[in-house]
């Protein structure tokens, strides 16, 4: 596709359940980022991949959150034992390369996660 694609667009899950959120970056983009946006706030950085490896996962809030990008393209954000406080919009972005000044990151439409 032409842009960053995230699925599902909406996810409602029960407290304690496991969820997976998927991100398809723009073809050829080696850098991929996950952000979380709570209501009334700006996006907060979670994790950055350059290729297959997580170059910086300092934004992941705790060990219930994990992300993978096994083939350097599609990425999955995994949340175990979900809590109501995990409810937020989860945004994915990609760029041609990370760490290059002037390289724009393009965002997907996000996955709205609601934990009930």
Partner 1 sequence: TQLLEQSPQFLSIQEGENLTVYCNSSSVFSSLQWYRQEPGEGPVLLVTVVTGGEVKKLKRLTFQFGDARKDSSLHITAAQPGDTGLYLCAYRNTGGFKTIFGAGTRLFVKA
Residues binding partner 1 (CB under 8 A): 4, 31, 33, 40-45, 48, 50, 55-56, 59, 91, 93, 98-105, 107-110
Q: For partner 1, which is the closer residue by CB, 12 or 17?
A: 12
Q: Residues 6 or more apart from 22 whose CB is under 8 A from it?
A: 6, 7, 74, 75, 76
**Least Cβ distance, residue 81 to partner 1 (angstroms):** 27
**Least Cβ distance, residue 103 to partner 1 (angstroms):** 8
**Least Cβ distance, residue 69 to partner 1 (angstroms):** 14
Q: For partner 1, which is the closer residue by CB, 110 or 115?
A: 110
Q: For partner 1, which is the closer residue by CB, 63 or 104?
A: 104
The edge-to-edge listing of strands for the beta sheet with 65-68 is 5-7, 19-24, 75-79, 65-68
Q: How far apart are CA 53 and CA 21, in angstroms?
A: 18
**Least Cβ distance, residue 107 to partner 1 (angstroms):** 3
Q: For partner 1, which is the closer residue by CB, 32 or 115?
A: 32
């Amino acid at each position: 596709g032409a842009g960053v694609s995230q699925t599902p667009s909406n996810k409602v899950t029960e407290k304690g359940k496991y969820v997976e959120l998927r991100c398809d970056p723009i073809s050829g983009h080696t850098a991929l980022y996950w952000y979380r946006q709570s209501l009334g706030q700006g996006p907060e950085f979670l994790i950055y991949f350059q290729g297959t490896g997580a170059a910086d996962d300092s934004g992941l809030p705790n060990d219930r959150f994990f992300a993978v990008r096994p083939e350097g393209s599609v990425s999955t954000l995994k949340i175990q034992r979900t809590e109501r406080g995990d409810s937020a919009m989860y945004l994915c972005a990609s760029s041609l390369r990370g760490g290059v000044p002037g390289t724009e990151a393009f965002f997907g439409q996000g996955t709205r996660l609601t934990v009930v």
